[in-house]
Amino acid sequence: MTGRASLKLKAVAILFALCVLAAVLVASRLLSPVPISSSGPSAQTPLPDEKPSPVAERIDTIPKKRIESQPEAPAEQRVSSIESTDKTTDWAVIAATHNTWESASRRADSLKSQWTECNCKVFPDKGENTKYFVIVGSGLQRHDADRLRDKAASAGFPDDTYVTKLTKTTPSE
């Protein structure tokens, strides 16, 4: 066989394969047990044996509650339930948590240079645990800790600086 004849034979074989594929697709569509419409199945019409869900029927009929908005109290007048009941002085402001005492100490020094009024320290003492907190302030009542956290935030401390109660077991929790 010459090169030209071989090419013609390949072209005929490809054309034949395409015709067979088209015939299979047409036959499968004609023999399909589910009628296929050009617009697709309607989402609004349930199948003959299918009933709409009772939940779906009621979903749009649930009345919306009207909530009267009340004017928000100024920040000075807001009192949380914790502030009003908890007068203990074991609240602290935490700026960071580290796995080593050394890295926590470096972070505390960095924060001290950022806000000179801050007396950041590391809790617990070196070697006492596997988690070390950089403390902005401790031994505070809750409302004092909240104020200190807000001052730290305005001094550029991390956004995730938070207030928590500190006990000797806090780092292992």
pLDDT at 41 over 60: no
Question: Can the peptide bond before residue 54 be classed as cis, meaning omega within 30 degrees of 0?
Answer: no
pTM of the model: 0.48
Mean pLDDT, residues 13-32: 85
The per-residue pLDDT of the chain, averaged, comes to 76
Per-residue pLDDT reduced to its tens digit, 47-69: 556 555 554 444 444 455 555 65
Find out whether 109 and 102 touch, Cβ atoms under 8 Å. no
Per-residue pLDDT reduced to its tens digit, 1-11: 677 788 888 88
pLDDT at 42 over 80: no
Show the domains of the chain with their CATH numbers: 84-167 (3.30.70.1070)
CA–CA gap between residue 143 and residue 86 (Å, rounded): 9
Tokens of 106: 């470096």
CA–CA gap between residue 147 and residue 155 (Å, rounded): 12
